[in-house]
Amino acid sequence: MNPKIILIILFLINLFNYIDRQVLFAVFPLLAKDLNLNDAQLGLLGSVFMIVYTLTAPIIAYFADKSPRQIWVSVCAVLWSGATAFTGMAKNFYNIAIARSFIGVGEAGFTSVSPSLAAEGFDKDHRARILAILGLALPLGSALGYLLGGLIGQHYGWRMAFYILAIPGFLLAAWAFLYIKDKRQTTQEEKNQIKISNYLKFFKSKSFVYVCLAEAMATFTLGGLAAWMPTYFHRYYGFSVAEAGTKFGIMIIIAGSIGTLGGGVLADFLNKFTKKAYFYTTLLGYLVALPFGLFALLCEGKLLTLICFGIAMSFVFLQTSLNAAIISITSLKIRSMAFAFHIFIIHALGDALSPMTIGKISQVFDLQLAVFIAITFLIPAIVFCYFAARTFKGQEL
């Protein structure tokens, strides 16, 4: 197997992971009108996905560390693609909530196994940039979700957006199953040592816990913005659904690409001089993103607002380099569990809460105040990232 082909397959699956995840947010205004949903209900739909995603990741990762990981990649891609198609058939809030739950299960399994599977075929000195390439699917997929969801929804209805965007996941799942073969060699004795109780061991590593907490706070910000910025632009700047999705999508493409790839290259470069390069790269990102994000809320001009939000998001995306830190901290045999634990913390404390929190604050006060509160969560992210760097000592688990 060619590791570059494996990376391409996983990147494409991850791309549609985020497309199918984010398309819902592009059609929020259409859903609100067609199904008579309020802001609190819309926010809850975003959080339902993350709650299920968070709770199921540790369970799937436990079994994935005992079995061929390509099976989990394929099965999970089929599951979330089917649930995406089912979303288009929804008649009410509860139908969509159920579909989003199954999307959460599928994407949790894939995200738990894919980073390690992608990085293992490459030299460790290039880990950050390899994982940055895989992580590039986040901004690109999210942007395409907004762009395609907004355009298809505007012209053909929101249901058609889900039907069309569900199809590629099935094809990619088949490609992964036929091509990828897990090279990991795990003895029966090692499999017997992999237990659910192993999750408690992760609390022994202070740097690992601080990494999770730092990303959780930043994910609260990113998740909240991802869910509500198209609606924010629609509501405060008068953009149509298609315009809001397009403009936010373009912003995500530019900001995410620069931040994700730039963070990977910068972290690999700094890694030649310090073992704490992954942490310092992310810390820089948080420190720059905070003032630009807050200033964006004060801007009156549309263009300047988009630029400031774009700069802020570019620097937050530098945190992708922390995936390489997780690989450095953990051993291969429990790495899927490590990423699952990481997923559990960052989403349970991050974007599982932020969409519905912002929706509730918006319902009671206004959306601008809710977005301001979301951005201030970068402050504790800075603190936790600093402590992660300070306590890191090398592979600990």
Q: Given this model, what pLDDT does residue 241 score?
A: 74
pLDDT tens track for 83-129: 999 999 999 999 999 999 999 999 888 888 888 788 777 777 777 78
- pLDDT over 70 (residue 196): no
Half-sphere exposure of 1 (CA within 13 A, CB side): 20
Between 377 and 305, the more confident residue is 377
Distance CA 395, CA 222 (A): 29
Averaged over 279-298, what is the pLDDT? 93
CATH superfamily of 3-178+198-391: MFS general substrate transporter like domains (1.20.1250.20)
Q: Given this model, what pLDDT does residue 187 score?
A: 53
Residue count of the chain: 397
pLDDT bracket for residue 306 (50, 70, 90)? confident
- pLDDT over 60 (residue 82): yes
- pLDDT over 80 (residue 147): yes
* Angle in degrees, CA 244, 250, 252, rounded to 5: 100
Mark 141-161 as b/e (b = at least 16 C-beta within 10 Å).
bbbbbbbbbbbbbbeeebbeb
pTM across the whole model: 0.72
Query: φ, ψ for residue 326 (rounded to 5)?
Result: -65, -40
